[in-house]
């Protein structure tokens, strides 16, 4: 059976995907320039032997090849356990692999995202019982291991294994099972994917480390030999010495302890030492009593999503969940219809109807989970979960985060969070508020987002130049002066984890956000003050589950809360987090709600990611150029322009007025900003409003 055409799941970049969907682009850097490292691991009774040692070596191999593994060791270990269980594998082989993606196609690896995948399959043994008992035949290959100054020979890299591939083909052409490679000096190094041991008298001899990859199985066998009182000597071994050895065997994750019956005409019997270490190794790796087969889950949960966001549908499907999307017809997209298992068209805020429909899924073997990360869906999903007895934030908590006036009243009693505020309905109320609290005021809708309806006032306005106000009650707050940030986090059973702090860049003429940078450029004390403030706020409000996005102003007196939400931040902030850290917030959110493990400590940022929005002059578009040029500039991750010739560009009064953006990333904030600015400068949008 082809390895590309199998049933099952593969862990890819933080989530499980169907086996046949785990693909990479043909222009991936690792495919062209050997920028890939991997591990070979064995599971016995559902448990990987020395999993952490393999994970640590994977990280070290990546570092040796100039790559930073985008997940922590704990996340890789947890993913390995998860993917084995998801595929129902007890005894099998596990292949983690890390590679450079298709960001740039040049010899330099800079600018390429590092990806990771873990694929398991059932594989009881490499050789059949006869070969295991009789031993295998080796031949000395014409290919050699390189000098350590020519290549990092201790990295388990795909490039290094090219010599093994050639040597194995040469051996098979000679009628042998495997090849023995020499190092650059002409001494014995290893086999194509295993280490070699030779017994001379009462001692085992094996090539010294530094000329080849010293395996994890090799280390285990050396430990077992010591327990049995067998001395092990690590030294240079000339190929001429092979003829004087009494026994020979190979060690490796796939081979375990594999006897050798011949090397180019020198015959060996499977002696007592080899047989003893084969038995001791089997005792070490296999359960002492037969383990029951790893049961497949009774069934993944059904995830009902209020609001048809494709990104959440894809995350839930990748985790093996059945998906049910509730959405109003005018907001439903063909992509969501194609991706979801079931689609319910209508107003999900009709709670009686929605709960009645969800009742049809409540008996699913894996249970039912209901969630939403759209602003209109936050309160309905809390109310539905309360009715169905499903775990979620309380409706009072969500009401407090949705209704900004409720939150302000809750925070009034705490001087850390209190901000002068009041409800206003018209300009007379605003004038009265300014008279009491000063001219600098922010006026905004009590609910909603995207800066829609937000007005920043720095002075009193005469009736003739007053901006229009929305026709509903508004919240007026004293203006807080200072840079703005947002804190991205996730709560799991009441434990809040801050993933990072995002820096905001506002439009010079108003409160609309025209860019973000993750992570924010902050001193340690400032960052700690902001995150402590947000953690205290979330505890006070009572947030216990799901993603959080909290907006903060760092004033001269310290951080002050603007507002908080039980959802992720908009403006592609989750993308910036993933580019910077490799951590997928949306995947983590679905995992937390479905009971799957979530990383306790998200990985730290390895680079800075920036989004900047286009800001052309208002008017009718006459010319657009430079978009493709911008896409291929260094560090650019994404470019989007939502305009065509003849489109109308409006003054930016809310997020809905923005017409496109660029996303860039680099190793430091200055370089990331420069990449974003260069991309913006390359894009020319002329309107009839240009001076």
Could you tell me the CATH number of the domain that includes residue 448? 3.30.1490
184 alpha-carbon distance from chain centroid: 40
Residue 441 reports pLDDT greater than 90: no
Q: Which residues does 436 contact at the CB level (< 8 Å), separation at least 6? A: none
Domain boundary among 234, 257, 285: 285
In a domain, 398, yes or no: no
User: The tokens 């999307």 sit on which residue?
Assistant: 325
Query: What share of the chain in percent tops pLDDT 70?
Result: 95
Mean pLDDT computed over 601-606 = 88
CA distance 380 to 73: 38
Strands 178-182, 546-555: pairing is: unpaired
Mean pLDDT computed over 220-228 = 94
In a domain, 411, yes or no: no
Q: Is there a single domain that holds both residue 137 and residue 118?
A: no
Q: Is there a single domain that holds both residue 276 and residue 139?
A: yes
In a domain, 83, yes or no: yes
Q: Is there a single domain that holds both residue 371 and residue 254?
A: no
Range of the domain at 150: 129-285
Q: What confidence tens digit (pLDDT) does each residue in 555-572 have?
A: 999 999 999 999 999 999
Q: Please choose, from the candidates 462, 460, 457, the residue with its C-alpha nearest in 3D space to the C-alpha of residue 477.
A: 457
Q: Count CB neighbours of 134 within 10 A.
A: 13
Q: Which residues does 466 contact at the CB level (< 8 Å), separation at least 6? A: 427
Residue 322 reports pLDDT greater than 80: yes
Q: Is there a single domain that holds both residue 637 and residue 492?
A: yes
- Residue pair 417/560 in contact (Cβ under 8 Å)? The answer is yes
User: The tokens 């009628």 sit on which residue?
Assistant: 175
Domain boundary among 349, 373, 392: 392
Mean pLDDT computed over 33-43 = 92
In a domain, 41, yes or no: yes
Q: What angle do CA 256, 156, 258 make, to 5 degrees?
A: 15
Q: What pLDDT is stored for residue 84 in this prediction?
A: 87
CA distance 562 to 579: 26
Cα end-to-end distance, the chain, whole Å? 66
- Residue pair 655/513 in contact (Cβ under 8 Å)? The answer is yes
CA distance 401 to 564: 6
169 vs 333: which has the higher pLDDT: 169
Q: Is there a single domain that holds both residue 526 and residue 586?
A: yes
In a domain, 402, yes or no: no
Tokens read off for 572: 């592609």
Q: Is there a single domain that holds both residue 109 and residue 140?
A: no
Q: Is there a single domain that holds both residue 353 and residue 274?
A: no
Tokens read off for 252: 């490796």
Give the chain's radius of gyration (CA, Å): 31
Q: Is there a single domain that holds both residue 425 and residue 530?
A: no
Q: What pLDDT is stored for residue 296 in this prediction?
A: 41
Strands 195-200, 247-252: pairing is: antiparallel
Q: What pLDDT is stored for residue 454 in this prediction?
A: 81
Residue 549 reports pLDDT greater than 80: yes
Q: Catalytic positions, please?
A: 156
Pick the range with the lowest mean pLDDT from 118-132, 160-174, 430-444.
118-132
| φ/ψ bin of 67: left (φ > 0), alpha (ψ from -120 to 50), beta (otherwise) | beta
- 41 forms bridges with which residues in the sheet? 94
In a domain, 293, yes or no: no
In a domain, 400, yes or no: no
pLDDT category at 576 given cuts 50, 70, 90 is very high
CA distance 97 to 464: 66
Residue 106 reports pLDDT greater than 80: yes
Q: Please choose, from the candidates 543, 544, 568, 558, the residue with its C-alpha nearest in 3D space to the C-alpha of residue 407.
A: 543
CA distance 455 to 650: 17
- 43 forms bridges with which residues in the sheet? 48, 92
In a domain, 459, yes or no: yes
Q: Provide the CATH number for the domain around residue 553.
A: 3.30.470.20
Q: Is there a single domain that holds both residue 318 and residue 183?
A: no
Half-sphere exposure of 677 (CA within 13 A, CB side): 6
* HEC secondary structure over 214-269: CCHHHHHHHHHHHHCCCEEEEECCCHHHHHHCCEEEEEECCCEEEEEEEECCEECC
Q: What are the CA-CA distances from residue 602 to residues 116, 251, 265, 368 (Å)?
A: 16, 36, 55, 27
Query: What share of the chain in percent tops pLDDT 90?
Result: 57
CA distance 263 to 243: 9
Q: Please choose, from the candidates 55, 46, 125, the residue with its C-alpha nearest in 3D space to the C-alpha of residue 87.
A: 46
Q: What pLDDT is stored for residue 218 in this prediction?
A: 95
Domain boundary among 372, 392, 412: 392
* Mean pLDDT for the chain overall: 89
Q: Classify residue 110 by burial, with Cβ atoms within 10 Å: 0-12, 13-18, 19+.
A: middle
Dmax (CA) of the chain? 104
Q: What confidence tens digit (pLDDT) does each residue in 675-691 have?
A: 999 999 999 999 997 65
User: The tokens 């059976």 sit on which residue?
Assistant: 1
pTM greater than 0.75 (yes/no):
no
Q: What pLDDT is stored for residue 298 in this prediction?
A: 53
Q: Is there a single domain that holds both residue 366 and residue 434?
A: no
Q: Is there a single domain that holds both residue 520 and residue 666?
A: yes
Q: Is there a single domain that holds both residue 667 and residue 535?
A: yes
- Residue pair 537/498 in contact (Cβ under 8 Å)? The answer is no
- Residue pair 318/16 in contact (Cβ under 8 Å)? The answer is yes
- Tally of structural domains, the chain: 5
Q: Provide the CATH number for the domain around residue 203.
A: 3.20.10.10
Q: What confidence tens digit (pLDDT) does each residue in 162-185 have?
A: 999 999 999 999 999 999 999 999
């Amino acid at each position: 059976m082809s390895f590309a055409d199998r049933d099952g799941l593969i862990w890819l970049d933080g989530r499980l995907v169907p086996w046949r969907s785990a693909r990479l682009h043909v222009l991936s850097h690792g495919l062209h320039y050997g920028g890939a490292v991997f591990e070979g691991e064995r599971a016995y009774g559902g448990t990987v032997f020395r999993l952490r040692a393999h994970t640590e070596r994977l990280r070290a191999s990546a570092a040796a090849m100039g790559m930073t593994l985008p997940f922590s060791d704990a996340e890789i270990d947890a993913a390995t356990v998860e993917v084995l269980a998801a595929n129902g594998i007890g005894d099998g082989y596990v292949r983690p692999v890390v590679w450079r993606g298709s960001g740039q196609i040049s010899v330099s690896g800079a600018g390429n995202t590092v990806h990771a995948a873990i694929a398991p399959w059932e594989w009881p043994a490499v050789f059949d019982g006869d070969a295991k008992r009789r031993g295998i035949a080796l031949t000395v290959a014409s290919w050699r291991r390189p000098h350590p100054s020519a290549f990092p020979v201790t990295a388990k890299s795909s490039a290094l294994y090219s010599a093994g591939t050639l040597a194995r083909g040469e051996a098979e052409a000679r009628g042998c099972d495997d090849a023995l490679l020499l190092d650059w000096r002409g001494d014995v190094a290893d086999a194509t994917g295993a280490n070699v041991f030779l017994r001379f008298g009462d001692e085992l001899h094996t090539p010294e480390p530094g000329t080849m990859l010293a395996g994890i199985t090799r280390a285990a066998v050396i430990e077992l030999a010591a327990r049995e009182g067998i001395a092990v000597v690590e030294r240079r071994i000339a190929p001429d010495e092979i003829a004087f050895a009494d026994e020979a065997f190979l060690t490796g994750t796939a081979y375990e302890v594999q006897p050798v019956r011949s090397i180019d005409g020198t015959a060996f019997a499977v002696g007592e030492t080899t047989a003893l270490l084969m038995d001791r190794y089997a005792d070490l790796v296999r359960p002492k009593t037969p383990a029951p087969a790893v049961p497949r889950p009774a069934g993944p949960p059904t995830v009902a999503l209020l609001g048809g966001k494709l990104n959440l549908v894809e995350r839930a499907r990748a985790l093996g969940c059945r998906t049910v999307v509730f959405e109003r017809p005018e907001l439903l997209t063909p992509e969501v219809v194609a991706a979801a298992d079931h689609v319910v068209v209508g107003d999900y805020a009709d709670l009686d109807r929605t709960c009645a429909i969800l009742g049809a899924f409540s008996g699913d073997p894996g249970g039912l989970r209901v969630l939403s990360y759209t602003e209109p869906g936050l309160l309905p999903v809390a109310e539905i979960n309360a009715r169905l007895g499903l775990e979620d934030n309380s409706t009072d908590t969500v009401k407090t985060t949705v209704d900004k006036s409720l939150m302000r009243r809750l925070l009034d009693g705490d001087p850390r969070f209190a901000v002068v505020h009041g409800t206003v309905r018209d300009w007379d109320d605003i004038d009265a508020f300014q008279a009491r609290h000063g001219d600098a005021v922010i006026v905004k809708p009590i609910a909603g987002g995207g800066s829609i309806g937000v007005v920043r006032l720095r002075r009193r306005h005469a009736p003739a130049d007053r901006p229009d106000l929305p026709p509903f009650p508004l919240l007026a707050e004293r203006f807080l002066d200072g840079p703005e940030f947002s804190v991205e986090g996730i709560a799991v059973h009441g434990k809040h984890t801050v993933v990072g702090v995002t820096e905001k860049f506002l439009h010079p003429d108003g409160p609309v956000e025209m860019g973000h940078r993750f992570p924010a450029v902050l001193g340690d004390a400032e960052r700690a003050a902001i995150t402590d403030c947000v953690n205290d706020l979330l505890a006070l409000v009572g947030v216990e589950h799901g993603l959080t996005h909290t907006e903060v102003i760092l004033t001269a007196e310290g951080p002050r809360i603007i507002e908080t939400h039980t959802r992720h931040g908009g403006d592609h902030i989750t993308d910036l987090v993933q580019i910077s850290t490799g951590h997928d917030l949306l995947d983590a959110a679905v995992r937390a709600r479905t009971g799957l493990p979530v990383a306790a400590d998200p990985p730290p940022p390895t680079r800075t990611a920036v989004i900047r929005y286009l800001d052309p002059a208002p008017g009718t578009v006459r010319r657009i150029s430079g978009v493709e040029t911008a896409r291929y500039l260094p560090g650019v991750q994404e470019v989007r322009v939502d305009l065509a010739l003849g489109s109308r560009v409006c003054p930016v009064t809310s997020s809905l007025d923005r017409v496109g953006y660029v996303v860039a990333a680099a190793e430091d904030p200055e370089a990331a900003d420069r990449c974003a600015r260069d991309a913006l400068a390359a894009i020319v949008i002329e309107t009839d409003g240009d001076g």
